[in-house]
Amino acid sequence: MINKIAPSILAADYANFATELQRIDATGAEYVHIDIMDGQFVPNISFGADVVASMRKHSKLVFDCHLMVVNPERYVEAFAQAGADIMTIHVEATQHIHGALQKIKAAGMKAGVVINPGTPVAALAPVLSLADQILIMTVNPGFGGQAFIPEALDKVKTVAAWRQEGNYRYDIEVDGGLDNHTIKACLEAGANIFVTGSYLFKASDLTAQVQTLRDALDD
């Protein structure tokens, strides 16, 4: 699988999305990770599909939308129209994860499925053939800047093994607490898409900071 870096816009300056998207673009990162939070599935509130539609005018990068939202199937059309490329939804947030993933694909987006640190990896087993991307949370969702949860690595290993055994094609993404050390452990466990929020944006030179992550992956 090809390694991809996904800067999280959650850690950017919300009053300057256009500039922040240009800064992300200049790093050579492949994705922009966009965290949608509804104040119910997670305590925090971020922004919705209309903001994503506005961002779309300022970036050609892949929009990797991570919905931390109750019943995310309600927003499939809105995100498709906003220009989302990948829509990733939590198994914990809907009673109909299978149908919701089908709906995402039918709307022309890539379908991602995600589990919280407290959710057994077995919850993903029924939807492996539908998933274009599996996201293993490496922090509890809701906020940037939290410490990496190493126990999540076993789940990454499990979904990587399932992919090999079952000839599935999904990417494996990790999100939360990634830096130039933890990213390597995620790679070794089998992940290939790496979300970076606070580690990236704490630097003034985003391009150099992305390079430290790529160097860690190549080490």
Q: How far is the CB of 88 from Zn ion (least distance, A)?
A: 8
Cβ proximity to ligand DX5: between 169 and 181 the closer is: 181
Could you say whether residue 198 binds ligand DX5 (CB under 6 A)? yes
**Catalytically annotated residue among 13, 25, 35, 219:** 35
Q: Is 33 in the site for ligand DX5 (CB under 6 A)?
A: yes
Please, what is the angle between helix 182-189 and helix 152-166, to 10°? 30
- 175 a catalytic residue: yes
Q: Report whether 48 belongs to an annotated binding site.
A: no
Burial class (CB in 10 A: 0-12, 13-18, 19+), 133: buried
Lateral strand order in the sheet of 86-90: 4-7, 193-196, 171-175, 133-137, 110-115, 86-90, 62-68, 31-37
**Distance in Å, CB of 197 to Zn ion, minimum:** 8
| Binding at 64: pick from Zn ion, ligand DX5, none (beta carbon under 5-8 Å per type) | none
Question: What's the longest Cα–Cα distance across the chain?
Answer: 46
- Asked if 127 and 135 count as a contact pair (C-beta separation under 8 A), the reply is no
User: Which string of x and - marks every residue 156-185 that binds Zn ion (by CB under 5 A)?
Assistant: -------------------x----------
Q: Does the protein bind ligand DX5 through residue 48 (CB under 6 A)?
A: no
Q: Assess whether 64 carries a catalytic annotation.
A: no
Q: What angle do CA 32, 38, 47 make, to 5 degrees?
A: 45
Single-letter amino acid code for the residue at 105:
K
The answer on whether 145 is annotated among ligand-binding residues is yes
Cite the DSSP H helix spans in the chain: 17-26, 49-56, 76-82, 97-106, 152-166, 182-189, 198-201, 206-218
Contact code string over 128-147 relative to ligand DX5, x by CB under 6 A: -----------x-xxxxxx-
Q: Six-digit token pair at 124?
A: 């993903």
Residue 66 in contact with Zn ion, rule: CB under 5 A:
yes
- Give the separation between CA 9 and CA 6, rounded to whole angstroms: 9
Residue numbers in the known binding site for a divalent metal cation are 33, 35, 66, 175
Binding site for ligand DX5 (CB under 6 A): 8, 10-11, 33, 35, 66, 139, 141-146, 175-178, 195-199
Known binding-site residues equal 8, 33, 35, 66, 142-145, 175-177, 197-198
List residues binding Zn ion (CB under 5 A). Answer: 35, 66, 175
